[in-house]
């Protein structure tokens, strides 16, 4: 695997080293030892799948606080997304900054999301599926979220938002001085 740091501390793009032949390719998509050696530790306790019917749908931006923080490793297994991470770690040099990366079924790219970073995505194609490996159990009392259209974040989504859940549309706006 090849690991590429992003503009957010700890957020990492993970590309596969493919062993290709006439049949296609084989590649390792996850290795706990490699992730641990780069400080991207977190035992995987859940694997989640998100399937989205309509292009332009936004899911997120979600994260969990102590005592139930979680890291995520996600890959788009069908279709394409723009994945966005917002750093919510108050001690981080990139606090409240965001970054985005295109993940597609064709580019086989994954994204590591550090704990206390909000995560969301917009589908670029109909019938898109995303697979998540998660280091913590979903804990509703520790769940937090950010509005996809919060002016304090100034996230530019590539498409008009066609669908979003009531919950995701209802997260409170951040205060400018927060």
Q: Is residue 139 part of a domain?
A: yes
Whichever domain contains 131, its CATH number is: 2.60.120.10
The model's pTM: 0.91
Question: Could you say which of 95, 108, 132, 138 is catalytic?
Answer: 132
**Total structural domains within the chain:** 1
Q: Is residue 74 part of a domain?
A: yes
Ordered alpha helix ranges (H), the chain: 32-37, 166-169
Q: Is residue 168 part of a domain?
A: no
Q: Is residue 176 part of a domain?
A: no
Examine the residue annotation and report whether 132 is marked as an active-site residue of this protein. Answer: yes
pLDDT score, position 177? 58
Q: Is residue 171 part of a domain?
A: no
Contact assessment for residue 23 and residue 126, using Cβ atoms and an 8 Å cutoff: no
Instruction: Chunk the chain into consecutive blocks of 10 residues (it has 178) and report each block's average pLDDT, rounded to whole numbers.
Output: 92 90 87 80 88 97 96 96 97 96 97 96 98 93 97 96 96 80
Q: Is residue 170 part of a domain?
A: no
* Cα Rg, the chain, nearest whole Å: 16
Residue 106's domain spans which residues?
A: 2-163
Examine the residue annotation and report whether 62 is marked as an active-site residue of this protein. Answer: yes
Distances (CA, A) of 108 to 27, 56, 68, 86, 91: 10, 21, 29, 22, 32
pLDDT score, position 33? 84
Q: Is residue 26 part of a domain?
A: yes
Q: Compute the distance between CA of residue 55 and CA of residue 38 in angstroms, rounded to an integer.
A: 34
Question: Could you say which of 62, 98, 119, 148 is catalytic?
Answer: 62
Contact assessment for residue 38 and residue 128, using Cβ atoms and an 8 Å cutoff: no
pLDDT score, position 170? 96
pLDDT score, position 31? 84
Q: Is residue 111 part of a domain?
A: yes
pLDDT score, position 14? 92
Contact assessment for residue 113 and residue 62, using Cβ atoms and an 8 Å cutoff: no
Check residue 25 and give left, alpha or beta (phi > 0: left; psi -120 to 50: alpha).
Answer: beta
């Amino acid at each position: 695997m090849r690991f590429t740091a992003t503009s957010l501390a700890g957020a990492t793009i993970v590309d596969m080293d493919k062993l290709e032949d006439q049949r296609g390719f084989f590649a390792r998509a996850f290795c706990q030892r490699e992730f641990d050696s780069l400080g991207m530790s977190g035992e995987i306790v859940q694997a989640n799948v998100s399937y989205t019917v309509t292009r332009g749908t936004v899911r997120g931006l979600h994260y969990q606080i102590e005592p139930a923080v979680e890291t995520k490793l996600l890959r788009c297994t069908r279709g394409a997304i723009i994945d966005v991470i917002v750093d919510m770690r108050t001690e981080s040099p990139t606090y409240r900054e965001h970054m985005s990366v295109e993940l597609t079924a064709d580019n086989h790219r994954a994204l590591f999301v550090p704990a206390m970073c909000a995560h969301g995505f917009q589908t670029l194609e109909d019938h898109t599926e995303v697979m998540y490996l998660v280091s913590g159990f979903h804990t509703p009392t520790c769940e937090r979220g950010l509005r996809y259209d919060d002016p304090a974040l100034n996230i530019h989504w590539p498409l008009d938002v066609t669908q979003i859940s009531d919950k995701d549309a209802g997260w409170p706006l951040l205060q400018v001085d927060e």
